[in-house]
Amino acid sequence: MSDPRHPHDQDLTAQLSFTAADAELLERRCLHQGFFRLEELHLRHRLFEGGWSGEVVREVHRRHDAVGVLLYDVERDTVVLIEQFRAGAFDDPASPWKLEVVAGLVERGESVAEVARRETLEEAGCEVGELIELHTYYPSPGACDERVTLFCGLVDSRGLGGVHGLDEEHEDIRVHVLPFTRAWELLQAGRLDNAMCLIAFHWLAGERASLRARR
């Protein structure tokens, strides 16, 4: 039910009426098939003012869906972050090594919760207790079909650290355990510059007090 204090919410919901049936795929071409797939889509779609668009051609990067996990130790008010080389940041003027939350791709037959627990063990060397699901979102729907499910995972951060990752996936991952306040300073300074970190940390900033009150 819409909030009577916000009557425009109901109007907006009524206007958001386009569905998958209002777009038509005319042709799909594979431009490249490697670790990921690049496709060229020829399509048309309905227009807000009525009728249909002409043929539209777009390249779409097809990826597996992904999972991200911000690891948080409620007892010690610390977060666990990982650092690794990222090819997409190769031209970053500061560094292509990025501080991130644990993350991984969803393989066929896996649930997002299973991926969250598997990746936490592989990348950070720890077990997750409670998993709190935050959001599912498209990082870049104008060019990529990937959807990300983001979690906060409650952990015991004592003794965590070192280098982890799977050799067969060429992973070289260093684990950092930081006080929340220090991690927030890094975020404010632009060092946590990826969507998963930004979304997860802003969620944790709002929920941290209530999580700690549950102790």
Q: Known catalytic residues? A: 169
Residue keyed to tokens 């797939």: 37
Tokens representing 6 are 């916000």
Pick the closest to residue 51 from 16, 20, 22 (CA basis): 22
Q: Is 183 exposed, middle or buried (0-12, 13-18, 19+ CB in 10 A)?
A: buried
Beta bridge partners of 178: 79
Q: Is 14 exposed, middle or buried (0-12, 13-18, 19+ CB in 10 A)?
A: exposed
Q: Is 191 exposed, middle or buried (0-12, 13-18, 19+ CB in 10 A)?
A: middle
Beta bridge partners of 173: 164
Answer yes or no: are the C-beta atoms of 80 and 175 closer than 8 Å.
yes
- Amino acid present at 102: V
